[in-house]
Amino acid sequence: MESVSSVVNVLGEVGGSVRSSGVHALISMLCGSDCFELADYVIEITEKKAGYYAVLVREKLKRGCIEQACDVIKRMRVQGCEPDTKIYNYVLGSLCKNNKLNEALTLLEEMKRTNVELDEITFEMFISSSCRLGNMEVAKESFEQLVNTGRGP
């Protein structure tokens, strides 16, 4: 922790965009080394930004830890940092790829309830995975919702 704190202090002294990109790179490096606790510590001592949490979520999903990625989203909300569309899409994509369509639909409802914008990628994941799983009703509903947003497929 001391070494990580020292790196964060140096980045703070440099400031500007170098600080932000350096903190992001530090979190990425720590996650890549399975040092998630230290990555959490970096976020704790710097700032709670959605972009930093996105790295945590993405890396947890790479390791197949879907539940832990969902826990990061919950923790973000508690800490006053709203998850963005990209973070939700990471988790939705993983759920859909792992044939967990019901869990993905529950998460989609959470997105809607908390006014997180659904984008084309969000709908595409549901259309694609629903077709793959033979659930044409969900695919049709997702397509209709996409069209109702004024966006095209």
Q: What is the pLDDT of residues 97-144, one digit of tens each?
A: 998 988 999 999 999 999 999 999 999 998 999 999 898 998 999 999
Using one digit for the tens of pLDDT, what is the confidence trace for 70-106? 999 999 999 999 999 999 999 999 999 998 988 999 9
Question: Using CA atoms, how far apart are residues 38 and 1, in angstroms rounded to an integer?
Answer: 7
**Residue 99: CA count within 13 A, CB half-sphere:** 3
Q: Which pLDDT score is estimated for 30?
A: 96
Question: Using CA atoms, how far apart are residues 8 and 89, in angstroms rounded to an integer?
Answer: 29
**Residue 140: CA count within 13 A, CB half-sphere:** 4
Residue type, 68: Q
- List the domains of the chain with CATH numbers: 69-153 (1.25.40.10)
**For residue 38, what are its two tokens?**
């230290």
CB atoms within 10 A of CB 31: 22
Burial zone of 4 (CB within 10 Å; 0-12 exposed, 13-18 middle, 19+ buried):
middle
Q: Which pLDDT score is estimated for 15?
A: 87
Q: 0.85 exceeded by the pTM?
A: yes
